[in-house]
């Protein structure tokens, strides 16, 4: 794991209690208020335009992501939608996107292509020649990838993709949710924009949703405008909870990565498991890249397919779990399991889902901070019923 850095705030930072920020702020003269409404100076005039606590979170995220600024949204998907519509696809822009991202991200891009004739093409981000061809077909504004893909756990070479994109006049945007700022900071590797679902590792407690977009000043200004007009700005109470989560991010992620490696090794040797996806295993196609890019840690998520690769076997397995909770999220203190075919990738074309390897017996485990032996025992007990 990368060397830990001090988080960009201290325990004594003055953060306004969120419940007193909900509606409006009296702030100086009329001229000062006018400048704040115009985004020409900082200040607080209305909750949708900003709040002190959310601004504190944005400042912390900007520093963690080595960006000029960050804007927080109510959910990760709100952040992704704002970036695609505000920066990537606006005024006829074109997007080359990873073919196997989070299912809702792909569904959003497909919907934008279908309903608004957006120019979107999907590509395998681990195939540099395929990425180059896609970028060269037509002028492209954004190459969009995930640092670790959801749920196949492919690892993207951020530095190489940044060079490919920039040489062809495109920006590189990276959803770094699965890696979190503790494993990688994409802008330090050449990426232009970093996106997080704050709901996951950054919050880490399963009690608040949020998303963020961090980048250069022009991106921040456009995202701020989108948050104000579209109404997707992150409320202060959620920002306060996420700031609390940031304080333990390094401790949590370190433990989750250690547990995930142990779980992946165990599942890889289990007779009831057909295949395991985890960047920390030497069998993973991008293992060497992950070791270099993430500094010795490999993330807290393990994906695998049952030997009996069927929906029925998957349901029996899910129903038998006692320690691992069935949930559509990840990165929490407790371990969670997701069945992509039923939830995150339910809207994906069946043939495309099968081509990518998200089969009927494919499952995704987000490791928490429980005793790894308890977690392995729970998985073993459920596997016996498959």
pTM reported for the whole predicted model: 0.91
Last residue of a domain, one of 246, 265, 299: 246
- Number of domain units in the chain: 2
- Of the candidates 2, 48, 168, 347, the residue annotated as catalytic is 48
- Of the candidates 83, 102, 278, 298, the residue annotated as catalytic is 102
Residues 146, 257, single domain; the answer is no
In the predicted structure, residue 17 carries a pLDDT above the cut 80? no
Q: The CATH number of the domain where 36 resides is what?
A: 3.40.640.10
Q: Is residue 11 part of a domain?
A: no
Q: What does the pLDDT look like over 134-170, one tens digit per residue? A: 999 999 999 999 999 999 999 999 999 999 999 999 9
Model pLDDT, residue 22:
47
Residues 288, 208, single domain; the answer is no
Model pLDDT, residue 299:
98
More confident residue, 234 or 3: 234
Model pLDDT, residue 125:
97
Model pLDDT, residue 183:
97
Selection from 115, 112, 71, 77 nearest residue 95 by Cα: 112
Catalytic residue list contains 272? no
In the predicted structure, residue 11 carries a pLDDT above the cut 50? no
* Average per-residue pLDDT for the chain: 92
Model pLDDT, residue 64:
96
Domain of residue 37 covers: 18-246
Model pLDDT, residue 20:
46
Last residue of a domain, one of 246, 265, 296: 246
Q: How far is CA 318 from CA 276, 350, 368, 384, in A?
A: 17, 21, 17, 12
Q: Is residue 276 part of a domain?
A: yes
Residues 141, 234, single domain; the answer is yes
What does the alpha-carbon distance between residue 213 and residue 69 come to, in Å, rounded to a whole number? 9
Model pLDDT, residue 1:
58
Model pLDDT, residue 12:
41
- Of the candidates 200, 224, 226, 252, the residue annotated as catalytic is 200
More confident residue, 247 or 352: 247
pLDDT band at 3 (very low <50, low <70, confident <90, very high): very low
pLDDT band at 194 (very low <50, low <70, confident <90, very high): very high
- Of the candidates 65, 119, 175, 378, the residue annotated as catalytic is 175
Model pLDDT, residue 40:
81
In the predicted structure, residue 15 carries a pLDDT above the cut 70? no
More confident residue, 134 or 35: 134
Residues 186, 331, single domain; the answer is no
Of 28-37, 208-217, 357-366, give the range with the top mean pLDDT.
208-217
Catalytic residue list contains 41? no
Catalytic residue list contains 44? no
Q: Is residue 3 part of a domain?
A: no
In the predicted structure, residue 76 carries a pLDDT above the cut 50? yes
Residues 200, 254, single domain; the answer is no
What does the alpha-carbon distance between residue 307 and residue 309 come to, in Å, rounded to a whole number? 5
Selection from 70, 125, 131, 78 nearest residue 101 by Cα: 125
Catalytic residue list contains 334? no
Q: What does the pLDDT look like over 226-252, one tens digit per residue? A: 999 999 999 999 999 999 999 999 999
């Amino acid at each position: 794991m990368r060397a830990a850095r001090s988080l960009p705030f201290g325990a004594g930072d003055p953060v306004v209690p969120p419940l007193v920020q909900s509606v409006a702020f009296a702030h100086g003269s009329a001229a000062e208020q006018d400048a704040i409404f115009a985004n020409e100076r900082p200040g607080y005039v209305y909750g949708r335009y900003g709040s002190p606590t959310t601004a504190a979170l944005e400042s912390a995220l900007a520093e963690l992501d080595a960006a000029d600024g960050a804007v927080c949204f109510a959910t990760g998907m709100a952040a992704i939608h704002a970036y695609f519509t505000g920066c990537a696809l606006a005024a006829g822009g074109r997007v080359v996107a990873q073919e196997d991202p989070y299912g809702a991200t792909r569904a959003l891009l497909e919907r934008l292509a279908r309903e608004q004739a957006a120019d979107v093409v999907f590509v395998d981000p681990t195939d540099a020649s395929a990425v180059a061809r896609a970028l060269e077909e037509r002028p492209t504004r954004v190459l969009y990838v995930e640092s670790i893909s959801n749920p196949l756990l492919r690892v993207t070479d951020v530095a190489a993709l940044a060079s490919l994109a920039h040489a062809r006049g495109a920006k590189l945007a990276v959803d770094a949710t699965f890696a979190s700022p503790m494993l990688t900071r994409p802008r330090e590797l050449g990426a232009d924009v970093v996106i997080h679902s704050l709901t996951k590792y950054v919050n880490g407690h399963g009690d608040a949703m949020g998303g963020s977009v961090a980048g250069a000043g022009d991106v921040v200004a456009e995202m701020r405008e989108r948050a104000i007009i579209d109404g997707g700005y992150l409320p202060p109470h959620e920002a306060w909870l996420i700031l609390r989560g940031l304080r333990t991010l390094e401790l949590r992620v370190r433990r989750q990565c250690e547990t995930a490696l142990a779980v992946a090794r165990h599942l890889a040797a289990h007779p009831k498991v057909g295949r395991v996806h985890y960047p920390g295993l030497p069998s993973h196609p991008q293992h060497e890249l992950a070791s270099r890019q993430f500094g010795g840690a490999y993330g807290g998520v393990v994906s695998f397919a049952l030997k009996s690769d069927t929906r029925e076997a998957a349901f029996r397995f899910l129903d038998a779990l006692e320690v691992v909770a069935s949930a559509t999220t990840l990165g929490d203190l407790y371990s969670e399991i997701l069945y992509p075919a039923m939830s995150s990738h339910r809207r994906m074309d069946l043939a495309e889902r099968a081509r990518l390897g998200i089969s009927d017996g494919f499952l995704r485990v987000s490791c928490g901070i429980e005793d790894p032996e308890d977690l392995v025992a729970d998985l073993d007990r459920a596997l016996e019923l498959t």
